[in-house]
Amino acid sequence: MSDIDIGVIGFVALFVLLALRMPVATAMMLVGFVGHLVLNERGALPTLAGETFHIPHMLSLTILPLFILMGNLAGISGMSRDLYDAAYTWFGHWRGGLASSTIIGCAGFSALSGSSLASAVTMGRVALPEMQRYKYDDKLATGAIAAGGTLGILIPPSAGFVIYSLLTEESIGRLFMAGVLPGIMLAGLFVLVIVIVTSVKPELGPAAGTSMPMRDRILALGRASWIIGIIFITIGGIYGGVFSATEAAGIGAILSFIVALLRRTITWQSLSGVLMETLRSTATTFLILIGAFVFTPFVALSGIPDALLDLLMQISPNRFVTLTIILVFFVLLGTFLEGFAILVLALPLVQPVLEQLDFNMVWFGVLMVIVLEMGLISPPVGVNVFVVKSIAPSVPLNDIFKGIFPFWIAMGFALLILVLFPDIAMFLPNRMYG
């Protein structure tokens, strides 16, 4: 039996274990260790022990718990509500204005939380009752929340970019900056979808009252200045070279804590809940990373990446045809696997191929994150869809998926634009880092 055959058997075993509901981290560690044991007996145990010790001690990973903490603190401080209210005063009187406000609110909150699920849950709890009150169609309302939540993995700080950076050894700062303009573009496309849908069928998103006086708009914007200020300081500080991404995470967490104290929204009970949630999320992510770094050497030893490159070259020598095949492959994976699982499972497989074809890995990171976002709202898994279902139990799951579809098309369009015009993603990192 060849090394490639063993590698294929390993992948099949991995997907079987995932289908049996074994946690991703455990499945990767088990398959990676056993596969490594078969291919290189002497190196298997040192790899497992070494990565188990190495990953939790990586200084660069300090950014993960800090940004998770910042997002959790922002959630209890009420800043998400202020951001939504500000968007509502400016756009609520438009047809579909509440749905557009939800997208804008999700985009802003994503810049603090870095989590798609947190954005969907937090903004959904704020926005859904308002949209239901104004008789918004359930499909549009829930679709906007689920789609808006996906911005959390693209707009920095993004946990997806942190993990991608670790797996590819690319600069976290460059990846964060690369996500800014595509994130704004995608949010704009989501709003455009709402405008088009409500223009064709106005009854889906009726206007919520009359236009607010300019004084009320400015006051609402002032109340949202807390979250706007923190976003400006953290992201602007990274862009200006004032501090690193890790330092920005620490500063953002401290500022969010101070805002929560000043607004008297924090208690010993809520603080305990925030810290425990941060610990749980961090521990889960670290376990997945340990599993990924045990699994990756097995993939490399099997020779599958080289065989995959040869196969793709046989299909077509054109590098963009190969890129298209890879992106479609990721979209298909996203229909039944969670985003982080796709990152840690498939990236080690395709990275050597992409590097051989001379693709910029920072630019591809943006493409991959958008593909992961598409997976978050794709049936049958659609993690963000099930999160929205949890806060809208009366809405049939099928209706939520129907509401998602126009936004899914918009994400595909954004993907096409970034493939055709890569400078959209690379403009800020190139200006910042050269």
Rounded CA-CA distance 305/226 in Å is 47
pLDDT at 31: 85
**pLDDT digit string, tens, across residues 381-397:** 677 777 788 778 888 88
> Does residue 6 belong to any structural domain of this protein?
no
Q: Which residues of the chain have pLDDT under 50?
A: none
> Does residue 206 belong to any structural domain of this protein?
yes
> Does residue 4 belong to any structural domain of this protein?
no
CB 238 within 8 A of CB 176: yes
pLDDT at 407: 92
Rounded CA-CA distance 319/192 in Å is 32
Q: Between helices 339-356 and 268-302, what is the axis angle to 10°? A: 40
Rounded CA-CA distance 265/369 in Å is 33
CB 99 within 8 A of CB 136: yes
CB 68 within 8 A of CB 281: yes
Rounded CA-CA distance 130/153 in Å is 25
Helices (H) and strands (E) in the chain, counts: 21, 0
Rounded CA-CA distance 14/348 in Å is 15
* Exposure of 372 in the CB half-sphere (CA atoms within 13 A): 31
Nearest to 365 by CA among 322, 309, 429: 429
pTM of the model: 0.81
**DSSP letter (8 states) at residue 170:** -
Nearest to 253 by CA among 63, 118, 117: 63
Tokens describing residue 318: 């054109």
**pLDDT digit string, tens, across residues 402-432:** 888 999 999 999 999 999 999 999 998 888 7
pLDDT at 120: 75
Q: Between helices 138-149 and 383-391, what is the axis angle to 10°? A: 130
> Does residue 19 belong to any structural domain of this protein?
no
Question: Where do we find the tokens 């961090």?
Answer: 282
Quote the mean pLDDT of the chain. 81
> Does residue 31 belong to any structural domain of this protein?
no
Rounded CA-CA distance 51/70 in Å is 27
> Does residue 56 belong to any structural domain of this protein?
no
> Which residues span the domain enclosing 196?
61-433
Rounded CA-CA distance 193/207 in Å is 16
CA R_g for the chain: 22
CB 301 within 8 A of CB 345: no
> Does residue 22 belong to any structural domain of this protein?
no
Domain count, the chain: 1
Q: Please, what is the Cα angle at 290 between 285 and 293, to 5 degrees?
A: 125
Tokens describing residue 431: 């200006």
> Does residue 65 belong to any structural domain of this protein?
yes
* Exposure of 406 in the CB half-sphere (CA atoms within 13 A): 19
Sequential DSSP letters for 142-154? HHHHHHHHGGGGT
pLDDT at 48: 67
pLDDT at 5: 83
